[in-house]
Structure 1
């Protein structure tokens, strides 16, 4: 795992790696009852959940993020473990998933994590975010339409996708532009992964 983190440009210590493993252990335990994920094998969880989440870490800019449709805390929990100085709100409408996240937050002492159990359109933050990050949205248009009330004027959308979503970009409102895009190389993960960063053009 340390080698994989190094390949992402992350300098993590043994304590951080231990917390990643604690999280995965809790995920594995709760998954048996709560069906957090269809992935059951620990090795697959390391690759498809933990490392996939961490692959976006070097590209984040800002200090306040919201992970919408976080499910079992992906990518929010691994990112919060990696960056204790940054704040992460984890939002999901499924109560069983947010109950699991409260357990993780307590067990790992993640003071930089806030958990919200509601639908995204109902959530009105007191302070807007530097970024919305998600693996959950079916399209970029769904993401920007559903989450535009969450970010500040200079905020970004960090969308984790498979192949580069060229057709989805054509569906966006004209004021959304691609700030950057990055291929994501996840060790032992087959198939393409990419990160698309969108921002609202200020006229």
Structure 2
């Protein structure tokens, strides 16, 4: 199966109806990630076939949980996950990719230019130093930090009524137990990622 066919099959399982143009953008992003990965070490997963499930479909599993938001911050975006796939799937969202690593944000800027994503902004900054003009109603991270550190560094970025959406592997019992009393866990959702034989969970948190 080609990675495009695998992507289409995965999108069906995630119940995401994307256009052919969106599929082409996801394919283009995958190609850029594979190309730049040789030099910039953006991800440990190097085979394009595995990148479909590990990166594209895993990132896209976030999309059904973004309803109600207009501004999404991807903290510690790295190679652009989940921010870029989410931005492609939801062109109505304004997405900021935040990372302190200059090499990674160089890649992200190039990817945004080559893919033509007007709804994506790339920022090179430490999260605690980032002071945007407008706050975010959705803040996500995929491999940035443990939950307590994630929320400790970002309260100045969350809009009133906003939500944290942290992407995790196995059910993070210990991390949840260490959360400060400034946030509450609204729900922990098991997530099924097509082609990925591993546990995944989405932790939705709100400020108290």
TM-score grouping bracket, smaller chain normalisation: over 0.9
Matched, 1:66 2:73: yes
Conserved? CA contact 1:128–1:152, under 8 Å: yes
Residue 137 of structure 1: how far off its partner (Å): 2.8
Q: Please identify, of 22-31 and 176-185, the stretch whose mean Cα deviation from structure 2 is larger.
A: 176-185
Q: Secondary structure at the match of 1:196?
A: strand
Inter-partner Cα distance in structure 2 for 1:121 and 1:167 = 24
Alignment length, in residue pairs? 201
Inter-partner Cα distance in structure 1 for 2:96 and 2:182 = 26
Q: Secondary structure at the match of 1:40?
A: coil
Residue 130 of structure 1: how far off its partner (Å): 0.4
Cross-structure match for 1:33? 39
Inter-partner Cα distance in structure 2 for 1:6 and 1:63 = 25
Q: Please identify, of 180-189 and 101-110, the stretch whose mean Cα deviation from structure 2 is larger.
A: 180-189
Residue 164 of structure 1: how far off its partner (Å): 1.1
Cross-structure match for 2:9? 3
Residue 188 of structure 1: how far off its partner (Å): 1.6
Conserved? CA contact 1:184–1:193, under 8 Å: yes
Q: Which runs of 5+ in 1 are unaligned?
A: none
Matched, 1:48 2:59: no
Inter-partner Cα distance in structure 1 for 2:91 and 2:145 = 29
2:189 to 173, 182, 189: 182
Cross-structure match for 1:106? 113
Q: Which of structure 1's runs of 4+ aligned residues deviate more than 4 A?
A: none
Cross-structure match for 1:127? 134
Conserved? CA contact 1:2–1:12, under 8 Å: no
Inter-partner Cα distance in structure 2 for 1:137 and 1:33 = 21
Conserved? CA contact 2:10–2:195, under 8 Å: no
Q: Secondary structure at the match of 1:159?
A: strand
Q: Please identify, of 168-177 and 106-115, the stretch whose mean Cα deviation from structure 2 is larger.
A: 168-177
Over aligned residue pairs, what C-alpha RMSD do you find? 1.0
Inter-partner Cα distance in structure 1 for 2:111 and 2:198 = 30
1:11-64 CA-partner distances (Å, limit 9, x unpaired): 111111111000000111111111111111011111101111001110113010
Residue 97 of structure 1: how far off its partner (Å): 0.7
Cross-structure match for 1:155? 162
